[in-house]
Structure 1
Amino acid sequence: MTVMTDAAVSVLLGGVLAAGLLCILAAAPRWRAASLTTRIAPYIRDAVEDSVLPSGVLPTVGILPVDASTWWRRARTRMLRGLGDGEALGVRLAQAGLEEEPSAFRARQLGWAIGGTAVGSVLVVVLAVAGSLSPPAAVLPVVCGVGAAITVDMVLTARVRARLARLGDELPTALEFLALCLSAGEGFLDALRRVAMIGSGELSGEMRRVVLDVGTGSPLADALGEMASRLRQPGLARAVDQIVAALEHGAPLAAVLHAQAADAREDAKQALIEQAGRREILMMLPLVFLILPLSVLYAVFPGVFILQLGLG
């Protein structure tokens, strides 16, 4: 065994020992309970001078008692400040349909980064034990940690894109259904409640939230505006603006909803055409870089082979 292998084995065994000791200490009860003087000192300060009390029984001025998770909160707060704007991250979380704060998401991202770093460290130790350790392998912990953090962000981005696409697909049908309910004589809030109860998609869930906000005292226009600002989907924001304007000016809502549904369908058709154009370009890549070179090779190789044999 080489010196590097011995060091890797030592690190591995030491890490396992440290993890075991930490688990034992975390599960063990407190070794020394607070004394009676320490427990009652804060409650007799009005009867006894602070100078008479034993030193250390009163909290230091300006320092509040904190729990054991302060270091984790401090770490995720610093990560939230260092990696980007919390407001933009909050908008992305709302668009993805996740009910969590930006600090909680950064904490989860930090946890995945720590886990990736640990996995990379284990891989380095395994490579060292196997005798295959090379200098580039030393950066595996950093690469795994950064890759895990980036993967979490990419998953959030993909979820936002997919949910916004589903909202855009559901918007024309929901607007047509609202217009149908209004044409049948229902009020807009009742029509909104009916669509929210019957529907099962992403937009129906957002409508249920709007109905809940209105039921708890929020004005209908404010609840709709809050939904549009939270999701920031262009078609939905445009439809909400038109609906709010129609409610304020007394315009016929059914006609407005039909027009917005037609616009949403036109936007969906345009997006489909653009997507088809991008897919057509992507379909050309294997043709240009795979099929065409093989065709040229099949056409040229027999002639080159005959020339090499001297039969031409």
Structure 2
Amino acid sequence: MIAFTSTDLAYAVVLGTAFGIGVCLLASLAPRWGAPSLARRIAPYIRDVTDARGLDVAGGAPLTTRAWTPLLRLRLMRLAGGDAVLGQRLRRAGWTIDPARFRVRQLAWALGGLALGGVVVVALVLVGRGSPVLGLLPPVAAVAGVLGYDAWLSRAARARAARIEEELPTVLEFLSLCLSAGEGILDSLRRVSEIGAGELTSELRGVVVAVGTGSPLSESLTRLAAGLEIPALTRSVDQLVAAIDRGAPLAHVLQAQALDAREDAKRTLIERAGRKEIYMLFPLVFLILPLSVLFAVFPGIFMLRLGLG
């Protein structure tokens, strides 16, 4: 009876994986597999039984790569859920991809983590450091890939929201200055969006484009505030929309909102400084203070042990 060691199994995994990849690459180059299917060739000529693009025939045709990719995205969205919440987070982070594409990329990160974990396990087994616990490394790496990509999105959303909050007082003051000079609200928004180069000015540029294509200004501003969900921006937009609807002087409203935004920024800065002070206590309590006590007490203990005290 032949006994296989862990090293032999590791070599088998490496060689089998390489052989499988080679077979798949050769199969993809074969004319029968690489050529478009019969249903895809005749679909443009029978649009009455196909969809608007003439891609899919209603009758169980073999799925090609372009055909099963939307199906895979739909399955991932059903499993993950939260399409509206994820779309809101993508909008807040400024990413131009849709939730389905984000889930597909998240799946790719999971597969990459799984492959990386498998490579690490095989490498450790080949060097003679294998153990049964290493079998948990590939799934843990896959889960870490999924959570890491999601954490990347959350961090990007928080960073962009912070930049917009920092730009808000300056943009509001610039808008009030343009309004005081005699320009209209739309012309002021257009001027700010053309001159500025930040995150908020790019969002205002989208508002100007939406108004130019026929959308009402109040609706475009409300949609902007609802898409970003930043309290200071939402409050300013609500006040601006109310002033536009009631005919109130916009310059004074924007100046008051700019003052409130600066006060919120100062309050946020003070709160952040307070948290940093608490964080600074950790090295003081756990590193500097124990070392100080050690340097103060150790010479006395050493002298007592020597009997010199």
**Is this a same-fold pair by TM over 0.5?**
yes
Query: Structure 1 residues 71 and 128, CA, compared in 2 at 3 Å: closer, same or farther?
Result: farther
Per-residue displacement from partner, 1:218-262 (whole Å, max 9, x unpaired)?
000111011011111111111110111000000000000000000
One-letter amino acid of the structure 1 residue matched with residue 95 of structure 2? L
- Counterpart residue number, 2:195: 198
CA distance in 1, matches of 2:273, 2:57: 67
One-letter amino acid of the structure 2 residue matched with residue 23 of structure 1? L
- Counterpart residue number, 1:24: 26
Partner-residue secondary structure (3-state), 1:110: helix
CA distance in 2, matches of 1:122, 1:8: 10
CA distance in 2, matches of 1:96, 1:143: 27
Query: Structure 1 residues 309 and 193, CA, compared in 2 at 3 Å: closer, same or farther?
Result: same
One-letter amino acid of the structure 2 residue matched with residue 289 of structure 1? F
CA distance in 1, matches of 2:152, 2:135: 27
Superposition pairs of residues 223-262 of structure 1, within 5 angstroms: 223-262=220-259
CA distance in 2, matches of 1:145, 1:131: 24
Runs (5+) with no aligned partner, structure 2:
47-55
Query: Structure 1 residues 215 and 287, CA, compared in 2 at 3 Å: closer, same or farther?
Result: same
Query: Structure 1 residues 32 and 229, CA, compared in 2 at 3 Å: closer, same or farther?
Result: closer
Per-residue displacement from partner, 1:160-212 (whole Å, max 9, x unpaired)?
11100000000000000000000000000000000000000000100000000
* Higher gyration radius (CA): 1
- Counterpart residue number, 2:52: none
Query: Structure 1 residues 224 and 33, CA, compared in 2 at 3 Å: closer, same or farther?
Result: closer
CA distance in 1, matches of 2:136, 2:276: 37
Query: Structure 1 residues 211 and 32, CA, compared in 2 at 3 Å: closer, same or farther?
Result: closer
Query: Structure 1 residues 110 and 39, CA, compared in 2 at 3 Å: closer, same or farther?
Result: closer
- Counterpart residue number, 1:170: 167
| Residue 183 of structure 1 pairs with residue 180 of structure 2 | yes
Superposition pairs of residues 1-312 of structure 1, within 5 angstroms: 3-30=5-32, 63=60, 66-312=63-309
Runs (5+) with no aligned partner, structure 1:
45-58
Task: Report the number of matched residues.
Answer: 297
Query: Structure 1 residues 250 and 306, CA, compared in 2 at 3 Å: closer, same or farther?
Result: same
Deviation at 1:10, TM superposition (A): 1.0
Query: Structure 1 residues 279 and 309, CA, compared in 2 at 3 Å: closer, same or farther?
Result: same
Deviation at 1:83, TM superposition (A): 2.9
One-letter amino acid of the structure 2 residue matched with residue 156 of structure 1? L
The TM-score, its normalising length taken from structure 2, stands at 0.89
Deviation beyond 2 Å, 4+ runs, structure 1: 31-36, 59-84
Partner-residue secondary structure (3-state), 2:97: coil
Alpha carbons 1:76, 1:110 under 8 Å: kept: no
CA distance in 2, matches of 1:35, 1:102: 30
Deviation at 1:119, TM superposition (A): 0.9
CA distance in 2, matches of 1:32, 1:185: 65
CA distance in 1, matches of 2:217, 2:17: 58
Partner-residue secondary structure (3-state), 1:95: helix
One-letter amino acid of the structure 1 residue matched with residue 297 of structure 2? V
Cα-Cα RMSD: 2.6
Query: Structure 1 residues 72 and 130, CA, compared in 2 at 3 Å: closer, same or farther?
Result: farther
Alpha carbons 1:196, 1:204 under 8 Å: kept: yes
- Counterpart residue number, 2:50: none
CA distance in 1, matches of 2:108, 2:161: 27
Deviation at 1:136, TM superposition (A): 1.3
CA distance in 1, matches of 2:304, 2:288: 25
Alpha carbons 2:28, 2:34 under 8 Å: kept: no
The TM-score, its normalising length taken from structure 1, stands at 0.89
One-letter amino acid of the structure 2 residue matched with residue 202 of structure 1? E
CA distance in 1, matches of 2:196, 2:35: 58
